[in-house]
């Protein structure tokens, strides 16, 4: 998820979405994304929809996608993919994951792929995720974050200030599963693995459940 439009300059609005599309999208990343989408069904919210890298990968059980994406360029670039995959229908509903224009308990699942690293108020965003999920609903996530290797983690902390500037607020040291649990969701499935350059390599993919209201 990128910053709100009020905070976004030319680089973040017109350049960064293209960079993200190249580095995190495309056929070569499908095998990494697909496990996070397994089990999605019904009405889902996708945080940080971007240029639609998950379009065409949703399970057939998904009935509707409510997309949250602040970048105008990313939404424009998603148009071709959405036109090529008319099902499930996709509706853009907002710009900010920390302010979801939805009723309490109104969605079956939330999808976040490489998004929680850049939301400025990530705690509030996860509180919103929990609020809009129905009881028994799920958060499906694929995120990068702090390495379990202490040497790599030290480098991540050193590089993070620069990364936040060039990566639209992207943090290298957040721990997505830890934040998700702190938001009141229960981790039901979790895989940790590494891929890519070492400071970006630590990934977590899984499913978290909302057990009660």
Domain borders along the chain are 5-209
Q: What confidence tens digit (pLDDT) does each residue in 19-35 have?
A: 777 777 777 789 999 99
Average pLDDT estimate for 95-115: 97
Q: What confidence tens digit (pLDDT) does each residue in 144-162 have?
A: 999 999 999 999 999 999 9
Reported confidence tier of residue 6, pLDDT bands at 50, 70, 90: very low
More confident: 57 or 9: 57
pLDDT at 85 > cutoff 90: yes
Reported confidence tier of residue 8, pLDDT bands at 50, 70, 90: low
Fold of domain 5-209: Rossmann fold (3.40.50)
Q: What SS3 class is residue 91? A: strand
| pLDDT given for residue 14 in this prediction | 67
Residue 134 and residue 130: Cα distance in Å, rounded?
8
- Residue 35, classified by CB atoms within 10 Å of its CB into exposed (0-12), middle (13-18) or buried (19+), is middle
Q: What SS3 class is residue 71? A: coil
What is the distance of C-alpha 83 from the center of its chain?
22
pLDDT above 70: percentage of residues in the chain:
94
- Residue 201, classified by CB atoms within 10 Å of its CB into exposed (0-12), middle (13-18) or buried (19+), is middle
**pTM for the whole structure:** 0.91
The closest alpha carbon to 161, from 144, 143, 173, 149, belongs to: 173
Token representation of residue 126: 């996860």
Under a CB-based contact definition with an 8 Å cutoff, are residues 123 and 98 in contact? Answer: no
Residue 35 and residue 133: Cα distance in Å, rounded?
20
Q: What SS3 class is residue 51? A: coil
Angle at 111 between CA 11 and CA 60, to 5 degrees: 120
- H or E element that contains 31: helix 30-37
């Amino acid at each position: 998820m990128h910053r709100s439009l009020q905070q976004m300059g030319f680089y973040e609005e017109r350049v960064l979405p293209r960079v993200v599309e190249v580095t995190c999208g495309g056929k070569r990343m499908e095998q990494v994304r697909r496990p996070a989408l397994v089990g999605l069904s019904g009405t889902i919210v996708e945080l940080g929809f971007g240029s639609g890298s998950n379009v065409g990968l949703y399970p057939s059980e998904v009935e509707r996608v409510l997309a949250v994406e602040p970048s105008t360029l990313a939404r424009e670039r998603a148009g071709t993919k959405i036109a090529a995959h008319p099902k499930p229908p996709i509706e853009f509903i907002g710009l900010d994951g920390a302010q979801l224009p939805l009723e309490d308990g109104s969605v079956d699942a939330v999808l976040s792929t490489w998004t929680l690293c850049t939301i400025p108020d990530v705690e509030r965003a996860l509180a919103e995720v929990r609020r809009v999920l129905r009881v028994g609903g799920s958060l499906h996530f694929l995120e990068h974050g702090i390495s379990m290797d202490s040497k790599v983690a030290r480098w991540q902390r050193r590089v993070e200030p620069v990364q936040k500037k060039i990566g639209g607020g992207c943090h290298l040291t957040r721990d997505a599963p830890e934040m998700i649990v702190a938001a009141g969701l229960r981790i039901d499935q979790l895989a940790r693995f590494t891929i890519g350059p070492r400071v970006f390599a630590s990934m977590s993919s899984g499913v978290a459940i909302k057990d009660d209201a």
